[in-house]
A and B are shown apart, each in its own frame.
Chain A
Amino acid sequence: MTVKALVGDNLSCRRGFNLLFEGLAVSAAGGRALVVVGPNGAGKSSLLRILAGLLAPTAGTVRLDGGGESVGEHLHYLGHEDAVKGALTVAANLAFWRTVLGGGGLEVEEALEEVGLGGLGRLRAQVLSAGQKRRLAIARLLVAKRPVWVLDEPTTALDVKAQARFAAFGRAHLAAGGLLIAATHAPLDLGETDELWLGGRP
C-alpha cells in the first residue's frame, strides 16, 4: 500500500474560548516536506496532533490518500516528549517501539549507530542528556518503517551535527516517497519544502 498524500479539509480548532484556526486546508504529498511555521501559540502543535489523529478537530476531516481507513497505523508522531522510559535501557526502549510500531526498518543497533548513540545501548535511558534522549526518539522513526512522519519541533535540544544528521534522515525519507510534516522555528534543510503559515492570536 502506497500512501500518496495526507489531506486535511476545512480544519478548525478551538482550545477553550480561543479559536486557533478555521477553515484550514492542509495537503502534504509524498516527496515534499510541509513545514508549519508561526509564532508561539498559533496552533502548530494542535494542527499536527489533529493530522496525526491524536486530537479531534472542532470541524473538518483528515484523510490519507492511498492509506485506507486507519491513518494512525501509517504515521510516526514525534511530539515534544520523547516517549523514553528512564528505567529501561536505551536498547530496550528502542526495541519496544520497534515491536509495538510494527518494525520493518533498521535493526535496533543500526538505528542507534545512525543517530549517534552507538555503544550506549546498555545504559539506562535516564542517564542520557536531553539531546541524547531526542536522538533516541528520532531513532524510533528509523526502526519502524512508516510512510508519514509528523514531527513537532524535531530538532529541539539537538546539537548542530545532530541537526544535520536529522535533516539527512528527513531527505532520505522524502526521496523514498515518504511524507513529512514538521512544525519548527529553526530551518530544517529538508530540500524542497512547502510552507504553511499559521497566524498568531488576533
Chain B
Amino acid sequence: MIAAFLAIVRRDLALSLGAGGGAGLGVVFFLSVVTVVPFAVGPDLVLLARIGPAILWIGALLASLIGLERLFASDAEDGSLDALTLSALPLELTAAAKGLAHWLATGLPLVLAAPVLALMLNLEPAAIGAVVLTLLVGTPAVTFLGLIGAAFAGAFRRGGLLIAVLVIPLTIPVLIFAVSATQAAVVGPVPFGTPFRVLAGLALFALVLGPVAAAAALRAARA
C-alpha cells in the first residue's frame, strides 16, 4: 500500500516536472504578482514593508490554486482515475498522494522563492523568516483544501471557475492566521507562536479534511 502511495506521488511529480507539466507556472505567477505590486503601491518603503507579508501570502495563495483544476480532470479523462479507483489503496490516500505531489511541485517552490521575493518588498530578516515559516506550514493546507475543488472539477467535468469559488472561502482562515503570525513576529503585541499554532492546527485539519472530502466528491460523481 505504501508502495502504491509512493508510486502515485512519483508519477504525479514526474508528470508535473516534465515537459508541459506546468509546475513552474505557479512560481512565475507568484513572481509576477510580487514584482508588480511595488510599482502599483509606489516608492514608499515603509508601506511596502508593512503590507509585504500580506502581498506575499496573497500571491502564494493564488499561485497555489494554479493547476489544481487539472489534478483529477486529466486522470478522469484518460481513464487513469477508473484504474486508480480499483487499487487496494483507499481513494482518500490516492487523493492525499496526488495532493502531496502537487504541493511538492507547486507549493514548495513558492516557499523557496519567498525569501528572494521578500527582499523586493523591503522586508526585514525577522519578517522574512516568519513569512517563510508560515508559507511552509500554510501552503500544504491551501493545496489540500484545494483538493476538494480539484475533485469536483475532475469528477463533474466543470472547469477551473469552481476551484476559486469553492476553495478560496475555505482558505480564508489560513490566510488570516498566517499573515497575523507574520505581523506578530515583527510588531507584536501577541507572540509569534500564538497565531502560528492556530495556523499549524488549521494545516493539520486541512491535511485530513481535504483528501476525505475529495474522495467523497469522486465517489458522489459515480452515482
Residue ranges of A at the interface with B (Cβ–Cβ < 8 Å): 52-56, 72-73, 75-77, 79-85, 87-88, 92, 96-97, 99-102, 140
Contact = CB atoms under 8 A, between A and B. Distances in A.
A100 B84 contact: yes
Contact of A76 (B3, B15, B86): B86
A100 B7 contact: yes
Interface in B78-111: 78-80, 82-89
Given A87-B19, A96-B11, A100-B4, A52 B86 contact: yes
Nearest to B77: A81
Interface of B: 3-4, 7-8, 11, 14-15, 18-21, 77-80, 82-89, 222-223
Contacts, number: 73
Contact of A102 (B14, B20, B85, B88): B88
B84 A82 contact: no
B79 A83 contact: yes
5 contacts: A53-B85, A72-B87, A73-B87, A85-B78, A92-B11
Contacts of A73: 86-88
Contacts of B86: 52-53, 72-73, 75-77, 101
Contact of A83 (B15, B78, B223): B78
A85 B88 CA distance: 21
A152 B82 CA distance: 13
B79 A54 contact: no
Given A81-B77, A101-B87, A102-B87, A87 B82 contact: no
Contacts of A55: 222
Nearest to B3: A99
A80 B7 CA distance: 24
